[in-house]
Amino acid sequence: MNELTTFDLPTHIAYSQSITANITINLSHSCAQAMSLADLVQLSPVDFTNINLEYASLRGSEELRLAICRYYQQYSQSVLSKSNSLSPDDVVTFCGGQEALAAIYQTVLKPGDEIVVFTPCYPSLISMAEQMGCSVNIVELNQANAWQFSIDEVESLMSAKTKLLVLNSPHNPTGGVIDTNLSKQLLALAIKYQCYLIADEVAQASNYYQLPLTNDYLSYDKAISVGVMSKSLGLAGVRIGWVVSKNQAWLSQLIAVKATGSICISAIDQALAICALMHSNEIIDNNNRLILKNIDLVKHFINEYNHLFEWVEPKAGMLALVKYLGSEGVEVLSANMANNYGVLILPSKLFGLSGNFFRLGLGQNNLSTGLGALKDYCTDFKPT
Confidence category of residue 84, pLDDT binned at 50, 70, 90: low
Tell which of 232, 263, 280 closes a domain: 280
Is 44 inside any structural domain?
A: no
Whether residue 197 is found in the same domain as residue 258:
yes
| Residue 377 resides in a domain | yes
Count structural domains, the chain. Answer: 2
Angle between helices 330-341 and 367-381 (to 10 degrees): 110
Q: Is the pLDDT of residue 8 over 90?
A: no
Residue 78 has pLDDT above 80, yes or no: no
Residue 206, phi then psi, degrees to nearest 5: -90, 50
Q: Which of 343, 339, 378, 347 is nearest to 364 (CA)?
A: 343
pLDDT digits (tens, 9 = 90+) for 89-130: 999 999 999 999 999 999 999 999 999 999 999 999 999 999
Q: Give the end of a domain, one of 216, 247, 280.
A: 280
> How far apart are alpha carbons 372 and 383 in whole angstroms?
16
pLDDT digits (tens, 9 = 90+) for 62-72: 999 999 999 99
Query: Coil, strand or helix: which one is 116?
Result: strand
Let me know if residue 2 belongs to a domain.
no
Q: Has residue 270 got a pLDDT over 70?
A: yes
> Is the domain of 101 the same as that of 184?
yes
CA atoms of 147 and 144, how far apart (whole Å) = 7
Q: How far apart are CA 82 and CA 65, in angstroms?
A: 18
Q: How far apart are CA 14 and CA 350, in angstroms?
A: 9
Helix (H, G, I), strand (E, B) or coil at 140: strand
CA angle 17, 23, 24 (to 5 degrees): 145
Residue 102 has what pLDDT? 98
Q: Which residues of 2-24 are buried (b: 16+ CB within 10 A; e: fewer)?
A: eeeeeeeebbbeebbeeeeeeee
| Residue 73 neighbours by CB under 8 Å, 6+ apart | 80, 85, 86
The whole domain housing 346 covers 11-37+282-381
